[in-house]
A and B are shown apart, each in its own frame.
Chain A
Amino acid sequence: MNEFEKQYQEILDFLKFEDYPLAVKRIIDFTLDTQEIGFYTKTCNLLNWLDNNPDDNSKKEKLQELLAELHSALVKRPQQIRQNILEASELTKKYSGFSLGPVNLSLNEGDIIGLVGENGNGKTTLLRSLCGELHPTSGHISYNFKHEDLYDLRTKLVYIPQRTDTWYGSMMDNLLFTATSYGFSPQESPLVVELVVARLGLRKFRKHKWKDLSSGYKMRFELARMLLRKPKVLLIDEPLANLDILAQQTVLEDFKAIAKSAFRPIGIIMSSQQLYEVEKTSDEVIFLKQGIQKNLKENNEANDTEKHLVIEFESAWSQSNLNDCLLSTGLVSLQFNGGTYIATFNGNVTINHFMKAVIDQNIPVVYIRDISNSTRRFFVS
């Protein structure tokens, strides 16, 4: 089953379990994939109908009907082979007092790379370097897609900074301006904008002013604009910073769906402090510590011979009590780190062994997580 069929099945499941908001989002993605005004119009009409008849029982049928049409239109289309679009090798950027790199990374269409690290460790510098805003001190970045000149290149690399600029005037006018600037025809533009707005759950906020929007919705409008810019690479700095947990999950899910589009895949590099969420979504995670790159995969491969089980947990017991109780389970080290304990066990120990020890010793535990394969390990001092 190819990527498109997998996504089609997912939408069918959403409909089956009557998860309509998610189903609608994915149907919009398919609609945008068709790049046909006929489908844009149909989906927009359906969205309007849904707005006017939120509790109508025929909702499911109508969505299924449209999905079937979209499926038959897209199923014959060749899916894009995901190619490498960006490659950075030995990239460094030096300021007075700070040095980033050398960084090596490779981004394919449809991939998401997560950038994690403490504040001031070079995440933003790396993103700005990749989007062409900063020129590397040394090393090389190659962009493997057509561009006439540097300006043209930067039109295809969309960088969304943590603090975005204020939008003036109507939100819809701003989005329409972006759409027409990026070559959507006068007939397409209003439809595409409607679809993108609906895709990001912004239909209710179309008439709002920028200053009346919360940070989360501002971010969503930025994402809507980004979608209209048809980027090859999306570089986004701390997109989760001002979002509540639910919004974080929604945005990450959106990123995944956008990046993994069967017909219009894009590469995404995002920075975040939300380690676990980023790790869940990303294909690769890069950790930056004082500008130095640490890749989880490489790190694991390099230390394969002496692989450890690393457990992060929270307990009311003291460090010495815990140490005494866990020594017999193969504990190598126990660190107290910001309210949680980081326990490192030798390679033969599994999380089940650890949990058994907790139960046997009646250790009070309120939180537990295996971080053996997480960049969380890099944060441990």
Chain B
Amino acid sequence: MFKKTQNYLLLHHPLLWNTKFIPVIIITLIINILFFAGGYLTGAVDFNDPYRLNEYRHYEPMAIFLNLIIGLLVIIVWLTFYFRNNGFKSLYPKKNNSLYKEWLIILTVCLLTCSNTAIYEYAFDLRARNYYSKEEVIKRTNLLSRTSIFVDGPFHHWSRFDRTQRNELLDSLENNNHRYEYKEYDEEMVVIPEVEAVTNVYNEGNKLYNPEWDTVCYFENQYPITSLINKQNLKFSIQENIHDSINEWRVKTWMLNREKDSIKKLLDDFFVLVNEHNLQANITSKQWFDFVYKPNDYNDYQIVGNDEFNEINDERKSRDNEEYKTRNDLENNIIQKNGSVTIVLPKYYVPLQRMENTYDRISGAYVSPINYGDILGIIYFAFITSLVIFSFRISSVKNWLISVISLGITGLITFIFSLIIIYSLIEYHSRSQPFTFITIWAVILIVCLIYFVYINRQKTSKKLSGIVVNALLWILPFSLVMVYFYLYTYYDATAIRDINGSRIYEMTGLEKIIHNNALEFFYINLGFILLYMYPFTKLIKKWKGIAEA
């Protein structure tokens, strides 16, 4: 069967036969499927995970390593068969688009070979997504977000509320930290005091102490800062920001309005989920309700831990005594000593942490199953590899090796040279910019391009163009990147403007597009490479006909 297919290709599509396209595609696809299966198998979610292990991709390094080894093996074996025949070097008749097709074939093989890790990651996330639909995950994460208010966790900072935020003492500080911020609409700079530096001063004896910091205001009522009504809720990446607030405010409205039934139902629903996943809590829904439903100020509650092993810290006691162990409600919790370390564990707990660990993973799998930045790296690697193979294909081994060595040495020299220039001539603030390096390579690219076109027009002998054509194949993909860099640098420099005596950084229109869309630009550049390679391969075919010397 295999032999028949190859024979058919040899007689009907010699290019496909020569490139061994069908066998290599079948092999790479099988490897792709194996990586997919690996990702899917290892992507299973543990619904009883107390240690956030769901978050870790344990087999990812192995997948990367295997991708490297297998990819390298496949490419080497493929090349040994592919390089057996070379119609172009033997000067067999070729259609104008034949070389372009050949490069596309090489590119396809490289892309498939390089994509194994990405496929593994995709399958890993797909497995997590396949447990529940997106709507169901949102519903469940909303439930967890809401119930998290009644479980041990952090409180909101007082500065979140529309309060004075400053007191006279703060203003009087000699070394008061402040920062400048440009307000676009007002077109002016405003001074923002850095209050964070002193916000932890809760001691009433301290001169910087502000009594406002002990209380928070919800619905025009004052609550202690440690009140459950000031609790932060859990957030999941699948939830939009607005949903975080809606979840939080809905529960807090129930608390304020003393809607016992709603709160009870919420806790009951949580327990339905607990039972579904066969998790353990050491209290019932009713006990939990009794512990946390303290409608006076929601400050007199029993802490309910998010897992039996997770340490708790009772903020309500924090200002009474600085001794750690006394900061906790020892009567209602468990003290545990591990040598010299004392930790306090909850006497009552619900398995919220395990739920969070589970649904964080699933929700993450929905939010960004594909990291376009990482994939871009893989695609560029495949493009460059394909061009390196293609250049080997169209030039002699000698010229190819000379190109590799000469470009490597040039790269090193230009790098050192640009470092010297940067550190000796340019102001300190622009040292991070590879301006000199890129400029030198832009000049090299232009010179190579002109030389290659000149040789093609002269049609006398190839001279050094056998080396230059390789250099062009390897540098041209970065030509648009160079242009982008120059535009970026230009707009970056011109975006600093002098407004009312202050130097501010402002970009508009095209500048903003260029500045904020680097990733998109790099994807567009791939299209540019695909486009220019067509005429370039046609030119290479014509160039091949020119005498060697």
Report yes or no: A153 in contact with B11, Cβ–Cβ below 8 A.
no
A133 within 8 A of B: yes
B185 within 8 A of A: no
Measured in the bound complex, the distance between the Cα atoms of B546 and A169 in whole Å is 29
Report yes or no: A177 in contact with B542, Cβ–Cβ below 8 A.
no
A182 within 8 A of B: yes
Report A159 CB to chain B, min CB distance, Å: 9
B519-549 interface bits toward A, Cβ cutoff 8 Å, 1 = contact, 0 = none: 0000000000000000000000110111111
Report yes or no: B91 in contact with A177, Cβ–Cβ below 8 A.
no
A155 within 8 A of B: yes
Report yes or no: A169 in contact with B85, Cβ–Cβ below 8 A.
yes
- Nearest-neighbor residue (CB-CB) of A178 within chain B: B92
Measured in the bound complex, the distance between the Cα atoms of B545 and A97 in whole Å is 27
Measured in the bound complex, the distance between the Cα atoms of B18 and A186 in whole Å is 15
B413 within 8 A of A: no
B411 within 8 A of A: no
- Nearest-neighbor residue (CB-CB) of B456 within chain A: A150
Report yes or no: A189 in contact with B84, Cβ–Cβ below 8 A.
no
A337-349 interface bits toward B, Cβ cutoff 8 Å, 1 = contact, 0 = none: 0000000000000
Task: Output the residue of B85, B460, B544 with the most chain A CB within 10 A.
Answer: B85
B17 within 8 A of A: yes
Report yes or no: B93 in contact with A155, Cβ–Cβ below 8 A.
yes
Residue in A149, A178, A189 whose beta carbon sits within 8 Å of that of B545 in the complex: A149
B7-46 interface bits toward A, Cβ cutoff 8 Å, 1 = contact, 0 = none: 0001110100110000000000000000000000000000
Residue in B83, B84, B92, B461 whose beta carbon sits within 8 Å of that of A155 in the complex: B92
Chain B residue contacts of A150, Cβ below 8 A: 459, 542, 545-546
B87 within 8 A of A: yes
B94 within 8 A of A: yes
Measured in the bound complex, the distance between the Cα atoms of B83 and A168 in whole Å is 9
Q: A176-B11, A180-B14 are in contact. Are A134 and B91 (CB under 8 A)?
A: no
Interface size of B in residues (CB-CB distance below 8 Å): 27
Report yes or no: A189 in contact with B11, Cβ–Cβ below 8 A.
yes
Report yes or no: A133 in contact with B18, Cβ–Cβ below 8 A.
no
A131-168 interface bits toward B, Cβ cutoff 8 Å, 1 = contact, 0 = none: 01111000000000000011111110000000000001
A215-238 interface bits toward B, Cβ cutoff 8 Å, 1 = contact, 0 = none: 000000000000001000000000
Measured in the bound complex, the distance between the Cα atoms of B490 and A18 in whole Å is 88
Measured in the bound complex, the distance between the Cα atoms of B81 and A154 in whole Å is 26
- Nearest-neighbor residue (CB-CB) of B15 within chain A: A181
Report yes or no: A180 in contact with B545, Cβ–Cβ below 8 A.
no
B74-86 interface bits toward A, Cβ cutoff 8 Å, 1 = contact, 0 = none: 0000000101110
Please report which residues of chain B, range 323-345, place their CB below 8 angstroms from some CB of chain A when the two chains form the complex: none
Measured in the bound complex, the distance between the Cα atoms of B90 and A229 in whole Å is 11
Report yes or no: A135 in contact with B545, Cβ–Cβ below 8 A.
no
Report A191 CB to chain B, min CB distance, Å: 11
Report A105 CB to chain B, min CB distance, Å: 18
Report yes or no: B17 in contact with A155, Cβ–Cβ below 8 A.
no
Measured in the bound complex, the distance between the Cα atoms of B84 and A134 in whole Å is 26
Report yes or no: A180 in contact with B91, Cβ–Cβ below 8 A.
no
Q: A150-B459, A151-B91, A154-B91 are in contact. Are A173 and B545 (CB under 8 A)?
A: no
A117 within 8 A of B: no
Q: A180-B11, A183-B93, A189-B11 are in contact. Are A134 and B548 (CB under 8 A)?
A: yes
Report yes or no: A134 in contact with B93, Cβ–Cβ below 8 A.
no
Binding site secondary structure of chain A? helix
Residue in B11, B85, B459 whose beta carbon sits within 8 Å of that of A174 in the complex: B85
Measured in the bound complex, the distance between the Cα atoms of B442 and A153 in whole Å is 35
Residue in A134, A152, A186 whose beta carbon sits within 8 Å of that of B547 in the complex: A134
Chain B residue contacts of A174, Cβ below 8 A: 85
Measured in the bound complex, the distance between the Cα atoms of B91 and A229 in whole Å is 10
A110 within 8 A of B: no
Report yes or no: B11 in contact with A181, Cβ–Cβ below 8 A.
no
Measured in the bound complex, the distance between the Cα atoms of B94 and A152 in whole Å is 8
Report yes or no: B10 in contact with A180, Cβ–Cβ below 8 A.
yes
Report A208 CB to chain B, min CB distance, Å: 16
Report yes or no: A149 in contact with B10, Cβ–Cβ below 8 A.
no
Report yes or no: B93 in contact with A168, Cβ–Cβ below 8 A.
no
- Nearest-neighbor residue (CB-CB) of B10 within chain A: A176
Report B40 CB to chain A, min CB distance, Å: 38
A190 within 8 A of B: yes
Measured in the bound complex, the distance between the Cα atoms of B17 and A151 in whole Å is 22
Measured in the bound complex, the distance between the Cα atoms of B358 and A185 in whole Å is 62
Q: A151-B545, A152-B545 are in contact. Are A177 and B18 (CB under 8 A)?
A: yes
Q: A150-B459, A178-B92 are in contact. Are A173 and B10 (CB under 8 A)?
A: yes
A167-205 interface bits toward B, Cβ cutoff 8 Å, 1 = contact, 0 = none: 011000110111011110010011000000000000000
Please report which residues of chain B, range 115-164, place their CB below 8 angstroms from some CB of chain A when the two chains form the complex: none
Chain B residue contacts of A152, Cβ below 8 A: 93, 545
Report B71 CB to chain A, min CB distance, Å: 23
Report yes or no: B460 in contact with A135, Cβ–Cβ below 8 A.
yes
Q: A152-B545, A177-B85, A189-B11 are in contact. Are A135 and B461 (CB under 8 A)?
A: yes
Report B125 CB to chain A, min CB distance, Å: 43
Report yes or no: B92 in contact with A181, Cβ–Cβ below 8 A.
yes
Report A53 CB to chain B, min CB distance, Å: 28
Task: Output the residue of A173, A182, A229 with the most chain B CB within 10 A.
Answer: A173
Instruction: Using A173-B10, A183-B93 as known contacts, list a sample of 14 further A-B pairs with CB atoms less than 8 Å apart, ordered by residue number in A.
Output: A133-B547, A134-B547, A135-B461, A135-B546, A149-B542, A152-B545, A154-B545, A174-B85, A180-B12, A180-B14, A181-B87, A181-B93, A182-B93, A186-B11
Give the 10 A-B CB pairs with smallest separation, nearest first: A150-B545, A151-B545, A168-B84, A135-B547, A186-B11, A181-B92, A135-B461, A180-B14, A169-B84, A154-B91
- Chain B residues within CB distance 8 Å of chain A: 10-12, 14, 17-18, 81, 83-85, 87, 90-94, 459-461, 541-542, 544-549
Provide 28 A-B residue pairs closer than 8 Å at the C-beta atoms, listed in order of the A residue: A132-B545, A134-B461, A134-B548, A135-B549, A149-B542, A150-B459, A150-B542, A151-B94, A151-B542, A151-B544, A152-B545, A153-B545, A154-B91, A155-B91, A168-B85, A169-B81, A169-B84, A169-B85, A176-B10, A177-B10, A177-B14, A178-B92, A180-B11, A180-B14, A181-B87, A182-B93, A183-B93, A229-B92
